Amino acid sequence: MTISKLAVKSNKRIELIDITARVQALISKKGIRQGLCIVYCPHTTAAVTINESADPSVRQDIINKLNELVPENGNYLHAEGNSDAHIKSSLLSCSVAVPISNGQLLLGTWQAIYFCEFDGPRNREVIVKLIRDD
């Protein structure tokens, strides 16, 4: 079992950043053939999710719908001005788990792992826990 941290730099207030290749590189570096990969986001205004990677408009559709459901300037009590980011983070997830087989993440053909920034731009991190079955 190993735990690693990946630095993630966001450039916009809200964006979905594909981190799949970086997670896969950790699996390859550690030589894990079979197991489980857990990607965890330790931030209350960000999240991680798995979704389509082939068409970038899907990411924009997700962002657009989240902004429609939870506008930046709503009637919020939290005084920091980022309540929408906290709510968007809660609507998605702080972690995802993906099986590893033959040294590869077992993602679907069109799937990718995304770091979801809702209060950027910022320097962030994700924690990747790799559990070896082999």
Kindly state the average pLDDT of the residues 18-41.
98
Q: Give the pLDDT confidence of 50-106 residue by residue, as tens digits.
A: 999 999 999 999 999 999 999 999 899 998 999 999 999 999 999 999 999 999 999
φ, ψ for residue 81, nearest 5 deg: 85, 15
Domains located in the chain, CATH noted:
2-132 (2.60.120.460)
Quick one: pLDDT at residue 34? 98
* Mean pLDDT for the stretch of residues 114-119: 98
**Is 30 a residue whose pLDDT tops 80?**
yes
Asked if 51 contacts 59 with a C-beta cutoff of 8 angstroms, the reply is: yes
Q: In which residue are the tokens 């079979």 written? A: 34
- Angle, vertex CA 46, rays to CA 43 and CA 49, nearest 5: 115
Output the DSSP codes for 57-105.
HHHHHHHHHHHHHS-SS-S---TTS-HHHHHHHHHS-SEEEEEEETTEE
